[in-house]
Amino acid sequence: MKTTTALIIIVVIALVVFGGWWWFSTQKEDVRVPLPDGEWQTYTNDMFGFGLSYPPDWEVFEDNAGFTPIINVFPKNTAEQPPFIHHHNVTMVSIFPHGVPTEGIVSDNALSQTAFTETPVLATDFLLEDGTVWATYAAFGQQAPNWEESGFVFGRDRILGQTSRCLRDGAPVAEDSCDPFTGDTIHVSGTIDADTHAIVEAILTSFHFTKDITEVRYGDFVRLTAPLPHTVIQSPLVVKGEARGPWFFEGSFPLFLTDWDGKIIAQGYVTAQSDPDASVGASWMTTDYVPFEGMLTFETPSYGDTGALILRKDNPSGLPEFDDAFEIRVRYR
C-alpha cells in the first residue's frame, strides 16, 4: 500500500512539473529576430563558384586585384571602407577563396552551431567572455574551382567597447608578452547587436557553392577527379585525373600518401591511359592533357585523422628547376 501511494505521488509531481514547463514555454515570446523589410538579394560569384543571400540594406564589395581575393558583404552604413579582413572590427560576412596570409583569430571558441548549407570540415564560433558568439569561421573540404585549400568563410559582428586581456595560468599577462601558442589565453569582452548577429548568421547559412565539384586543379598542369580534397579514403585508393604530357616520363609519374606527420605510408605510380588514336606507349608524348589512373594500398594510420596525397611530376633529369608536385589533404576517418 505504501509503495503504491509513493508511486502515485511521484507521478503527480512529474505531471505538475511537466505541465508547468509546458505552460511557461507556450507563454514565451518569439525570440526570432525579424529580418529587414524587403526581399533579400542574391549574389553569385562565377569566378569562385559560390552564391549567398543578403538584405537590401547591405552591399557587396569585390577585390580580385589585391594581395588575396576578398569578397565582403556588409551594412551600407558602415563607417570604414572595404576591403575588410577578419581582424577589422566591422559587421560583415567575408569570403576568402585563397585564405588570408596573416594570423587567425585568437579568442575563446567552440564548435560552431551555425546550420550551414554546405558541410564544413571545420567550423568555429568565437566567443566573448560571457559566452556570446561574435564571429564564425568555416572551411569547406570540397570547394569550388579556383578555391585554394586555405580558403574560408568568415562572419563577425562589430564589438562595441571591445577590450581583451591575456591570462597565463589564470593570471593577467602584459599584451606584449602574451603568447597563445605556448598556452596563454586571450579573452575578448564587449557587446554586440543581437539583431545584426541574426542577419550575419542568416547570410552564413545561405552560403553555397554553385557548381558541382567534380575535380580539383593544380594550375594548368593537373586535374584530379578522385579523390577530392578532404574526402575520407580507404585502401585500395584509386587515383584518377588528367595531367599535361610533360608530367609523365615513359607514361607514368609517382604518387605518395602520408599520415598526419608527413610519414610516407604508401607510394606508387599513376600511368597514362592509352589513347586509341595514338601509337602504343606514345599517348603521353604531348603537351595536352592525358588521362591517368593509379592505385595505392595502405594500412589506415592508427593515429591522426588526416594526411596528404602527393602527385609528383616525374623528373628524370634530376634538375631542381624541373621539379613540381601537387598535394591535397585527405581524411582517414
- The CATH number linked to 323 is 2.60.40.2550
Stretch 32-53: mean pLDDT = 77
Domain of residue 72 covers 41-209
Beta strand segments in 169-218, E: 171-173, 185-191, 208-209, 216-218
* Residue 178 and residue 260 in one domain: no
9 lies in a domain?
no
Alpha-carbon span 37 to 246, nearest angstrom? 57
* Percentage of residues in the chain having pLDDT higher than 70: 85
C-alpha cell at 182: 605556448
Instruction: Look at residue 27 and tell me whether its pLDDT is greater than 50.
Output: no
326: in domain:
yes
Residues 162, 270, single domain; the answer is no
**Cα 162 to chain centroid, rounded:** 27
The DSSP code sequence of 104-161 is: ---S-EEE-----SS-EEEEEEEEBTTS-EEEEEEEESSPPTT--TT-EEEEE-PPEE
What's phi and psi for 238, nearest 5 deg? -95, 130
pLDDT at 53: 97
Report the amino acid identity of residue 329.
R
Q: Is 159 exposed, middle or buried (0-12, 13-18, 19+ CB in 10 A)?
A: buried
Q: Which among 103-107, 175-179, 261-265 has the top mean pLDDT?
A: 261-265
Burial class (CB in 10 A: 0-12, 13-18, 19+), 243: buried
pTM passes above 0.85: no
How far lies 105's CA from each of 83, 134, 279, in Å? 18, 11, 56
Rounded Cα distance between 261 and 304, Å, is 8
Give the span between the Cα atoms of 86 and 46, in whole angstroms: 23
Q: How confident is the model at residue 142 (pLDDT cuts 50, 70, 90)?
A: low
Task: Kindly state whether residues 236 and 157 are assigned to the same domain.
Answer: no
Report the sign of the C-alpha dihedral through residues 151, 152, 158, 159, in that order.
negative
Note whether 154 and 258 are same-domain residues.
Answer: no
Q: Mean pLDDT in the chain?
A: 84
Q: Does the pLDDT of residue 275 top 80, yes or no?
A: no
222 and 126 fall within a common domain: no
Is residue 15 in a domain? no
- Final residue of a domain: which of 209, 238, 254? 209
The verdict on 191 and 322 lying in the same domain is no
In the chain, how many domains are there?
A: 2
What is the rounded average pLDDT of the residues 46-74? 91
Q: Please give the Cα distance from 51 to 47 (Å, whole number).
A: 11
Q: What is the pLDDT of residue 14?
A: 47
Q: Rounded to whole angstroms, what are the CA distances from 23 to 26, 55, 138, 200, 211?
A: 5, 36, 38, 32, 47
187, pLDDT greater than 90:
no
Residues 205 and 222 in one domain: no
Range 279-308 average pLDDT = 84
- Residues 15-22 have a mean pLDDT of 44
Give me the pLDDT at residue 2, please. 46
Higher pLDDT pick, 34 / 316: 316
Together in a domain, 75 and 199: yes
287 domain residue, yes or no: yes
Q: Which of 23-27, 57-61, 113-117, 328-332 bottoms out in mean pLDDT, i.e. has the lowest?
A: 23-27
Out of 189, 209, 229, pick the residue that ends a domain: 209
Does 160 lie in the same domain as 177? yes
Q: Is the pLDDT of residue 33 over 60?
A: no
Which of 209, 237, 255 lies at the terminal end of a domain, its last residue? 209
For residue 22, being part of any structural domain is answered with no
Question: With b meaning 16 or more CB within 10 Å and e meaning fewer, what string describes 56-89?
Answer: eebbbbbeeeeebbbbbbbbeebeeebbbbbebe
Kindly state the cell numbers that stand for 264: 610516407
Residue 151 covered by a domain? yes
Residue 149 has pLDDT above 70, yes or no: yes
Inside any domain, residue 32:
no
101 and 202 part of one domain = yes
